[in-house]
Amino acid sequence: MDRISKLPDEIGCHIFSFLTTREAASTSVLSKRWRNIFTFTPNLCFENKDFASPSEEITRSFSDFVDRVLAASGESPIKKITLKCLTSGDPAHLNRCMRKFLTHGVTDLDLEVIRGLDYPNMLIEVFACKTIVTLKLGRCFVIENFPENMFLPVLKTLFLDKIMFNMPQPCAFETLFSACPVLELVMLNVESSYQPSDGKPCSTVSCPTLQRLTVNSLDFGLILYRSRFLDRQSFAFDTANLAYLEYSDVVPIAFPVVNLDSLVEAKLGLNSLEVCDDRNSTVLIKGLGNVEVLDLTTFETLETIYYFREAIVVLKNLLQLSITTKAHECWRSLPFLLNKSPNLHTLIIKGPLHAFKYGSVCECFSGYSCFSCPVKVLKITDYGGISGELRQLHHILEKLPCLELVTVCARATNVTEGWILNSDLQRLSKALKCKIEVNFIGI
pLDDT tens digits along 212-223: 999 987 554 444
pLDDT tens digits along 191-208: 544 554 555 556 789 999
Region 255-271: what's the mean pLDDT? 93
Q: From the CB of residue 92, how many other CB atoms can be counted at a distance below 10 Å?
A: 9
For residue 53, the model assigns a pLDDT of 52
pLDDT tens digits along 313-324: 999 999 999 999
Instruction: Indicate the pTM of the whole model.
Output: 0.85
pLDDT at 86 over 80: no
pLDDT tens digits along 272-289: 655 455 677 889 999 999
pLDDT tens digits along 33-68: 665 665 567 777 777 765 555 455 445 566 777 777
pLDDT confidence of 362, banded at 50, 70, 90?
low
Region 331-358: what's the mean pLDDT? 88
For residue 313, the model assigns a pLDDT of 94
pLDDT at 325 over 80: yes
Give the residue among 411, 335, 407 at the shortest CA–CA distance from 378.
407
